[in-house]
Amino acid sequence: MAWIWLDDKFTEHPKIARVGAFGAWLQIQAIAYCNRNLTDGFVPDGVISTLIHHGSDSEAGCLGLTTGRCGGVGRGMDATEFDWRTLMAEVELWEEGDGGIIVHDYAKYQPLAEEVANRKKKTASRVAKWRWKKGQAGSNGVSNADVTHAPTPTPTPTPTPTKKKKTGERGGVFTPPSVDEVCSYIAEKGYRFDPEAFHAFYASKGWKVGTSPMKSWQSACVTWERRKAGEGGGAPSHPPMYTGAPSPPPLDDEARSRLRKEVEDFEATLPPEQRRLTR
């Protein structure tokens, strides 16, 4: 069952005042016909006469619409004898069309056929989904007797891959390695630099690379090994370690005399109080 839309001031509209109660009843019938048959406001010629006779039969008499004669509009005439079609068109409640009339502004206030069809389609889809879900809950749709419900499948949990943490990384925070960890890593990779020198160097810097905190000491090991292979062993920015320089050869008499002469000449340029040459 469908419904039609009427403003609550419908009976007070100037157009309705001109056509009277019978004209108002014709308008309601025309709108109901279009809404029921989805004609988008069109009423065929054959239906118009049916609406007029329907409004003038004995059942409508109880509404005071007709008493065999029209009151007000078409006074003294039988309702079926009056030209209602022309009057409804004059007050612009109806519009003349090909093979019938069109209810004025029908599309403005009443749903059109396409809109109704779309609404019914959405409703049917919603009901179908509801019935499917209800069936999934255990109803077999065969009888109302007690049935054994289908077991609800238990989903298999999908394991979440976890990122393998490198040695020295705990909870995403860098942890300095021990000397043993560095030794084990270097032995595993086959590196050739000194692990103790590596550990001492970065420990003295607070485990920083330049001014930034170290993120991976393994990456630093790669850098040290590359420098070892390309430069013969040195660490990045690492000062050379003293390994003991060879003693200079002894001076002969000629070299001693030449060195002494250079010292004397230099002291001669100094003030007397600054000269300390031992003769």
**pLDDT (0 to 100) of residue 86:** 92
| Confidence (pTM) | 0.41
Q: Which of 195, 210, 231 is the last residue of a domain?
A: 231
CA distance linking residue 233 with residue 227, whole number of Å: 6
Q: How many domains does the chain have?
A: 2
Give Cα 54 distance to the centre of its chain. Answer: 58
Does 146 reside within a domain?
no
Q: Are 28 and 106 within one domain?
A: yes
Domain presence at residue 105:
yes
Q: Is 38 strand, coil or helix?
A: coil
3-state SS, one letter per residue, for 102-157: EECCHHHHCCCHHHHHHHHHHHHHHHHHHHHHHHHCCCCCCCCCCCCCCCCCCCCC
Domain-embedded: residue 56: yes
Same domain, 103 and 194: no
What local confidence, expressed as pLDDT, does residue 257 receive? Answer: 85
C-alpha–C-alpha distance, residues 220 and 29, integer Å: 91
Report the range of poorest mean pLDDT among 46-55, 69-78, 158-167.
69-78
Domain for residue 227, yes or no? yes
Better-predicted residue by pLDDT, 167 or 215: 215
Q: What is the pLDDT of residues 108-153, one digit of tens each?
A: 899 999 989 998 989 998 898 888 888 777 555 455 555 555 556 6
pLDDT score recorded for residue 242 = 40
Contact, 19 vs 73, CB < 8 A? Answer: yes
Residue 131: inside a domain, yes or no?
no
Among 231, 254, 274, give the residue marking a domain's end: 231
Which range, of 165-169, 241-245, 257-261, averages the lowest pLDDT?
241-245
In a domain, 240, yes or no: no
pLDDT tens for 171-217 read 568 899 999 999 999 999 999 999 999 999 999 989 999 899 999 99
Tokens of 205: 């810097």
Calpha distance 76→65 (Å, rounded)? 14
What's the token pair of residue 116? Answer: 């109704």
Do residues 116 and 124 lie in contact, with contact meaning Cβ atoms separated by under 8 Å?
A: no
| pLDDT tier, 102 (very low <50, low <70, confident <90, very high otherwise) | very high
Task: Name the residue range of residue 60's domain.
Answer: 10-114
